[in-house]
A and B are shown apart, each in its own frame.
Chain A
Amino acid sequence: MLKKIIILVFALCTLLAVAAFAATTVDSSYLIDNEQILDGKTVEFNGEVIGNVMKRGKYAWVNVSDRYNAIGIFMPNEMADKIKQAGSYNFKGDTVTVIGVFHRACKQHGGDLDIHADSLEIVAPGHQTVHPIKATRVILLFFTMAAVIVLVVLRIVFRR
């Protein structure tokens, strides 16, 4: 019986410890609005990689956007290498889950609000996006172009 109680207490303590140190899942607005509380804590942040993976020495900067804001993530190059596609006009970037330590005003990086990543997981790979040409726009282009030609002719006639 005593053995069972000890195991139960141990399991409970382990669970509590895990809960205490587990990453809090946050969105960028919550992160910025509660930066004093979350400063120095481990957080889990999800979003799309945008722009560029900027490698500097052994580390890289990656900006991850969750539609509200983009947050700078500082990570080792090996972790950054997992990212295959960053978001731009023609591409939806990789969707990633980052777990790392949040800094309200990072000492190492001149006061930046950032996350130093401990792990990065690709949740969904990026893909190309298409921007189809609308027929109505083509018609509108020809219409405005024709109007300009007519007006130029009219202007020449009026000048004479």
Chain B
Amino acid sequence: MKRRKDLIAGLIFVSPWIVGLALFQAYPFFKSFYYSLTDFNPIRKPVFVGFENYSWLFQDDLFWKSLWNTLFFVIIGVPLDQIVALSLAVGLHGLRREKAMRMLRGIFFFPILVPEVVMALVWMLMLNSEFGIVNQFLKFLGLNPPAWFLSTFWAKPMIVLLRLFFIGTGMVVYLSALNEVPKEVVEASIIDGASPIRRFWKITIPMISPVMLFNFIMDIIGTFQIFTEPFVITKGGPARSTYTLTMFIYNNAFENLDMGYASAAAWLTFAIIFVATIAVLYVTSKRIYYGGER
């Protein structure tokens, strides 16, 4: 009887979350799949067209271009984010002065608190070809810097660099993982004469590998959904060189009012992220150390 009561009480407590999930996540999620099989604009009732939207998507140059651009951000941006976040965390972990560590941790984390739009605008100003601080500095060094965001070659890498401002969360997660590395193992390796680099590769990396995997996957998912930075800075240009999958979905839904097509693109994006995540899990499955378990 008591267990039954506890169950009811528990269900009542979690019900707001369950209702919220069902109404605002699950329902739109499945409904959007139905819409992806229809010709639908906000006024007319959806007309079922089967997989026609998907078939058109595969023939759409712009979809492929946006996929390629997004893959560029994922392939170049994610490893770079993780390397920098881990490097900062290792650097901070090695600091002996607690105060300095805390202060630097706060500084590196600070951009997370600033809205992405604001950071994008600041980055735009910093890279302004005429009065931006970066170009002023490069000119001072005698270099001839380009107009970064008007160049089809430079626009994408510059957005990748902007995203480095948002590695604070990953860095903090790495930092806490580094604190969890057993001291006795590290000390034993020191006694055995292992160099710091060897210790890092052979002890630290395996010990924090589950956290690395988590950060890596979260970053992949986040980067596949990159929208704010290119939308604010370049609007997808120049020559669509920064046009991403989420911009493709947004423009089809809200500019072209083609909700069915946009839903199909959203589901394809979901499928791509899903496959990428599974692939990363599969590739890393034998290289992640879960504390004695295989």
- Asked if A and B are interacting partners, one says no
Spell out B's residues near A (CB within 8 Å).
Answer: none
Interface residues of A (CB under 8 A from B): none
